[in-house]
Structure 1
Amino acid sequence: MNSISKDGLLEHETESNNDERYLVPGLVRGLAILKLFDQNHQEMTISEIAEKLDVNRSSAFRLIHTLEYCGYLKKMSQKNYALDSNVMELGFNSLSKSSMIDLASPIMRELRDKIKIAVHLSILEGTDIVFISNAQSIGSFTSNVHIGTRWHAHATVIGQLVLSRLSESEVIKRYENFTDWKVYSERTPHDIDSLLARLKEVREQEFMISWGHFNTDMAACAVPIYSQSTQEMAAVLSVSCPLSTYTEDAFRTDVARTVIAYAEKISKFIYI
């Protein structure tokens, strides 16, 4: 039963306002150490960790020794430390039980709220891209793309992006009996040779933009999502909107950079 404190607040409310009383500083610092390691800092010395945490070297050593003992850090050389396998297991045991859609959906909605346009998640099936999750745009425009919608992969930036990560022999095999080479613009491949030529260009690109090339009045930006376990493309995050929503320059710069950032966010949680 909740009691009333002298200032009239419920006792549990008073306690919740002083939650810092219950923090364990050593645990906070230990978790902060694990977060220091990333793609640009895969190994660090005790001195480097101490400097980044703003603690003395002795404190840093005790924290690092504890993390090493528990299997979260490992000594790479006489001076350097790196993350050990237990760190990966912490996330993987939980994330591997969640589907990519479950993991991506809240991040897709966050992206939609930020740029106000429709956000999609797609995969490749045969010679089609299939939309497996969507976040509708905010405003009067409603996207006609729904879960289960299929488009020819050869004709879309989403499909070309996924196909570009396959070997040439795999692409040829997928299209050996394909005859429905619909052309939507001068940029649409119209046979296997023009598709292979297009994919050679796409392989050099981090992301792709369509400015009226598939749907003449629509813009789209497609960015790959990668699996942490295989480093291969697991899906494509894309956004779409009428050409009138943004200037072409803003779409190719500001919008594209934002979609790239959110695709990287999703990729951090994908282990399929």
Structure 2
Amino acid sequence: MSLANAAAVLHWLKRDRRDVAVGELSTAMGWPKSSSSRLLKDMARLGLLERDEATRRYRAGLLMLELGRQYSAGEPLLEAADAELQEITRQTGYSTGISMLDGTDIVVLRSRPGTHPLRVVTPPGTRGPAAANSTGRVLLARLPDDEIRRRFTPFPAPPRPNAPGDVADLMARVQKARVLGFDESNDESLAGLCGISVAIGEQSHGLGYAPYIAFSAAQLEPGERRRLAAMLVDMAARLSERFGDVRPAPPLQRRAHG
């Protein structure tokens, strides 16, 4: 089994695909059907994939799930942010979570459901477009402008009408996030889904993480949204002082929303 080919399969699966059949993989990759079948069987034997005997389709195996849990387990900054979000969920009843940036996507690392009837739940491992999520934009805001433009050229098709329509629109929203110290998305990646996010990180951790509060578009008035944004900005300030974030939220904006 070629390690490069196995990695190519995993990268292909992570792009909004839950499973794959031998013929689909062969067509997508341009590989012979026999080679595709052999590779999938080898990956299943090693625990990278598992096969549904009824459908004969392959999906990510238990080993990948275990590795995903280990990837973020025990990091002090992540655990501290998760503890703060647990308290925010307790106080407000809204769903919270933490995402990280991967290229032009965001990936959910932690997710906690709220207690409101209209609760928003995004399971860990879920991927989404960074340009159309507040979590993605606050993390992109920590990159140089040239790097953002490079990643989003060509610009992907917006998933919803409210999402950024081109690089210029994305850059304007990223710059706003830099000024405010937080970002808000509204019906951009999924219908009716809204979120407010901040970015946290350590000098040794690169871009870091994006803690967020998620809710339905029908749930919150502007005043309540400002209150939630202030809670996240204050949380980011506390964590940046504790862990030495080199790019904390702007102090003037923290006072303005406090």
Pair in the same fold by TM > 0.5: yes
- Counterpart CA distance in 1 for 2:98 and 2:84 is 11
* Bigger helix share: 2
Q: Note if contact 1:183-1:190 (Cα within 8 Å) is conserved in structure 2.
A: no
The structure-2 alpha-carbon separation of the partners of 1:264 and 1:202, relative to structure 1 and needing over 3 Å to count, comes to closer
1:82 aligned partner:
none
- 1:266 CA drift (Å): 3.6
RMSD over equivalenced CA pairs, Å: 2.7
Residue pair 1:101, 1:132 contacting (<8 A) in 2 also: no
* 2:100 pairs with one of 111, 114, 123: 123
Q: Deviations over 1:185-226 (max 9, x none)?
A: 24x222334333443343322111234344442331111213
Q: 1:197 to 1:220 in 2, by over 3 A?
A: closer
The answer for the alignment partner of 1:105 in structure 2 is 82
Query: Once the two structures are superposed, what CA deviation does each residue of 1:115-173 show, in whole Å capped at 9, x if it has no partner?
Result: 11001111100100111111211243342311011110111122122112211221133
Q: Distance in 2 between matches of 1:119 and 1:205?
A: 20
**Residue of structure 2 equivalent to 1:71:** none
Say which of 204, 208, 228 aligns to 1:255. 228
Judging changes above 3 Å, is the alpha-carbon distance between structure 1 residues 266 and 146 closer, same or farther for their aligned structure 2 residues? Answer: farther
Out of 171, 185, 191, the position equivalent to 2:166 is 191
TM-score by length of 2: 0.57
Q: Which has the larger radius of gyration?
A: 1
Post-superposition CA distance 1:66-88 (Å, at most 9, x none): xxxxxxxxxxxxxxxxxxxxxxx
Cα distance in structure 1, aligned partners of 2:75 and 2:205: 18
Summarize the Cα distance change of 1:112–1:126 in structure 2 as closer, same or farther, 3 Å threshold. same
**One-letter identity of the residue aligned with 1:221:** I
Cα displacement string for residues 35-94 of structure 1 (whole angstroms, at most 9, x for unaligned residues): xxxxxxxxxxxxxxxxxxxxxxxxxxxxxxxxxxxxxxxxxxxxxxxxxxxxxxxxxxxx
2:157 partner letter: W
- 1-structure distance, mates of 2:126, 2:76: 19
Unaligned runs of 5+ in 2: 1-73, 246-258
Rate the CA distance shift 1:258–1:182 in 2: closer, same or farther, 3 A.
same
CA distance in 1 between counterparts of 2:214 and 2:233 reads 14
- Counterpart Cα distance in 1 of 2:239 and 2:89: 14
Q: Which residue, 165, 184, 198 being the options, matches 2:142?
A: 165
TM-score (norm 1): 0.55
116 and 183 in structure 1: CA distance in 2 versus 1, 3 angstrom threshold: same
